[in-house]
Structure 1
Amino acid sequence: MWQFQVQEPVVTVTEVGQGELPVGLARLIHINALACDHNRVLDYRTKQLEVRLLASYLHTAGAGGPLRVDHRAFTASSRHIRGFVAESSGLGMLTAAGEALFAWDNTAHPLHSFDALPGSMTGYQNDGIRPDLLFHLPGGRVAGEARGRHRRTKTLLPKRPLAEQKNRLQDLARWSAAHQDHDYFMSWVWIGRSGVAVDIFLPQDKRWDGALDVRWKRQSQGHQWRFPMHERRRRPSEDPFGQMPTDEPEPPLIPPSATDTLRTMLPVPAAARTQPMADPLSRTGRLVQRLYDTAPELDAEFVGNPVRGTWVPADALGPAQHEVLLAVLAKQPPPQAGVRERLARAEGRFDACLDGRLLTVVRSVAEPPPSWQDLEEVLLSPA
């Protein structure tokens, strides 16, 4: 984990600690089930295929354990499949970092994508550089950026931040300055033969110190890295199918803001400027309803609430290690328990995530499926 401080014209990055970041596979699958184009046709069957594929590449050593990947299958896969797995891992790590570092709780505080902000949230630019997710915390909004890369070397974590990370921190620093020093952080996932790891870059601010797990903190100051906020640089070598570039050579040097300037100068049609945007909260509701309408019926109820969906084995690469339930409730459930309480109640038997009407459960094939009463006891807050 790194902390950075922006004091124009210099950005200083300091290593502050290391530790394990619990990642719920159910939460990771859940986040990606909702990460789709709200304007396209949506079908439960296609979402289930994506879930089966993602869960075949990724697994955890017990509920909330470190995230792992089938590296041999990952490196043998096509570029767009690697990009899908990598981008999904990045979003999962970003939300896990928000939960672990800021005590963000999805049951109490909303989470928005910068691609679909509610109309009430004015003041954010719709073009140019911008982060991925917007966390709403008691102390204010924090923007989150998810990035990543495949590491071919035996050492999973680099000893110091690389050029691509520096470039993105520069981008985010400029974005923050353009939005009245908006708070932000970045997670950068590394996928390699020894597993999955993440670099987390936090702003150097006393407000975050109390949120950091003491086991992550170093006894003494670690490596320090300084670079100018504005400089000539190489264009980031991004994978067109996801944010997971390979170790291919980078393109020639370009002026630092050429791409951003081009984006902001492109004319916007008058119709696009005046057409009202639907509130993403209502669009998410329609998305979940479409999932419910196309999901197979399930002879079950969750606190008296009809449920649709089915279990699917994660067996796209061979015998399944776990199965996943992607289920949709007929209506909004009662208040839900927080992530830490949820994991403690499950006691490693299964991993479950309930967010609104969407329910995701991951269990080992060696364990029997949890009963609906088990799920209610784990997921719902006490009356």
Structure 2
Amino acid sequence: MWQFRVQGAMVTATQVGRGDLGVGLARLIHINALACDLNRVVDYRTKQLEVRLLASYLDAPSAGAPLQVDHRAFVASSRHIRGFVTESSGLGMLTAASEALFAWDNAAHALHSFDALPGGMLSGYQSGGVRPDLLFHLPGGRVAGEARGRHRRAKTLLPTRPLAEQKRRLQELALWSASHRDHAYFMSWVWIGRSGVAVDIFLSQDQRWDGALDARWKRQSAGDQWRFPVEEDPLGQMPDGDPEPPPATPSTTDALQLVMSVPVAAPTPPRADPLSRTGRMVQRLYDTAPELDAELADIPLRGTWVPADALGPAQYEVLLAVLAEQPPPQAGVRERLARAEGRFDACLDGRLLTVVRSAAQPPPAWQDLEQVLLSPA
């Protein structure tokens, strides 16, 4: 973890913390399912395809364990697929970082994608240009989060000096913050390499973090330090790994979609909040998901289990399901992980439910899911 500050024409970034960052595979898949471009068609079938592909490349041996990747398959894949896995990992690590650093809890505080802000918040943010990925709501105010990453070919997973892309993005985010009344923000930068997955967290040096940061992440003394000019021309620096590729193009997705076809159920009357763009997106997923003969807390669901078998025999099966309406109050992140430990990895956020289980184990009982995910009455 790094904190940076601007002094004159120089930026100084100081390492202030280091540790293992646990990432739940269900949470990572869940966040990516919510990260939709609402200007495009939202369809459950394509979301399920993305889930199948993502869970085939990634692995978390237990809920909250460090994230791993099938590196051999990763480097053998096309640039578009590597970009999809890297970008998806970045969003998951960004969310895990917010939970670890700020003790952010989705059961108590909201999370929004900048592509799906509620109608009442749209006027507070510019619609075009540079903007972060996610908006976390903390007791002390809103914090924007930016997720970036790349494949690293070097033997050491973490670089010893900042890359031009990192410096440029930090400067762009600083300008975005200044144009939004000094909005709080942080950036996660994921590295995928032969030795595993790691992440650099960048926080601006600000008194607002003093009470928000979890003290367990702070070092007793400052670590390494990077210094670089504010207006450096990055064109002369060549990256030591793959540049961050764009997400998979529609043609790639269309081709992959032929692998698995899911029957589409007839739409039902919407029950989403008309002011919530995320609510409308979730309703579209519900309308296009297959029927599921099950209920959670007496609420019908739609969706289906999918094996993560894009690269061979599945280690996991994943359920991406949508409830017909908002569920009762949900358990917090830490409580949920403690309840589910050793059994399955599950995440419930609003109406969207994601469950990851070992392919060798039977699906969890719905009563067990209720006990893990919902707060006691």
- Evaluate the alpha carbon distance shift between residue 115 and residue 45 of structure 1 in structure 2; reply closer, same or farther with a 3 A threshold: closer
1:211-222 equivalence runs, <5 A: 211-222=212-223
3-state DSSP of counterpart to 2:223 = coil
- Number of equivalences: 347
Q: Which residue of 1 aligns with 2:362?
A: 368
CA deviations 1:39-74 (Å, max 9, x no partner) are: 433332221111111100011021111111100001
Distance in 1, Cα, partners of 2:126 & 2:284: 30
Structure 1 residue 28: Cα displacement:
0.9
1:330 equivalenced with 2:331 (yes/no): no
Deviates more, 1:211-220 or 1:87-96: 211-220
- Evaluate the alpha carbon distance shift between residue 173 and residue 71 of structure 1 in structure 2; reply closer, same or farther with a 3 A threshold: same
Residue among 284, 301, 317 paired with 2:295 = 301
Distance in 2, Cα, partners of 1:71 & 1:209: 37
Work out whether residues 118 and 280 of structure 1, in 8 Å CA contact, stay in contact via their aligned partners in 2: no
Structure 1 residue 79: Cα displacement:
0.8
Work out whether residues 26 and 362 of structure 1, in 8 Å CA contact, stay in contact via their aligned partners in 2: yes
1:52-131 equivalence runs, <5 A: 52-121=52-121, 122-131=123-132
TM-score between the two structures when normalised by the length of structure 1 = 0.85
Q: Over the residues paired in the alignment, what is the CA RMSD in angstroms?
A: 2.0
3-state DSSP of counterpart to 1:201 = strand
- Evaluate the alpha carbon distance shift between residue 9 and residue 120 of structure 1 in structure 2; reply closer, same or farther with a 3 A threshold: farther
Q: Which residue of 2 aligns with 1:352?
A: 346
Work out whether residues 6 and 173 of structure 1, in 8 Å CA contact, stay in contact via their aligned partners in 2: no
Distance in 2, Cα, partners of 1:120 & 1:299: 36
1:143-182 equivalence runs, <5 A: 143-182=144-183
Amino acid of the residue matched to residue 75 of structure 2? T
Q: Which residue of 2 aligns with 1:268?
A: none
In the alignment, structure 1 segments of 5+ residues that lack a partner are: 243-278
Counting aligned pairs with the same residue, the percent is: 82
Work out whether residues 36 and 115 of structure 2, in 8 Å CA contact, stay in contact via their aligned partners in 1: no
Distance in 2, Cα, partners of 1:57 & 1:137: 32
In the alignment, structure 2 segments of 5+ residues that lack a partner are: 249-272
Deviates more, 1:54-63 or 1:9-18: 9-18
Distance in 2, Cα, partners of 1:214 & 1:137: 16
Distance in 1, Cα, partners of 2:310 & 2:59: 13
Q: Which residue of 2 aligns with 1:241?
A: 247
Distance in 2, Cα, partners of 1:231 & 1:341: 46
Structure 1 residue 347: Cα displacement:
1.5
Work out whether residues 294 and 301 of structure 2, in 8 Å CA contact, stay in contact via their aligned partners in 1: yes
Amino acid of the residue matched to residue 6 of structure 1? V
Amino acid of the residue matched to residue 334 of structure 1? P
- Evaluate the alpha carbon distance shift between residue 153 and residue 328 of structure 1 in structure 2; reply closer, same or farther with a 3 A threshold: same
Work out whether residues 26 and 354 of structure 2, in 8 Å CA contact, stay in contact via their aligned partners in 1: yes
Deviates more, 1:102-111 or 1:279-288: 279-288
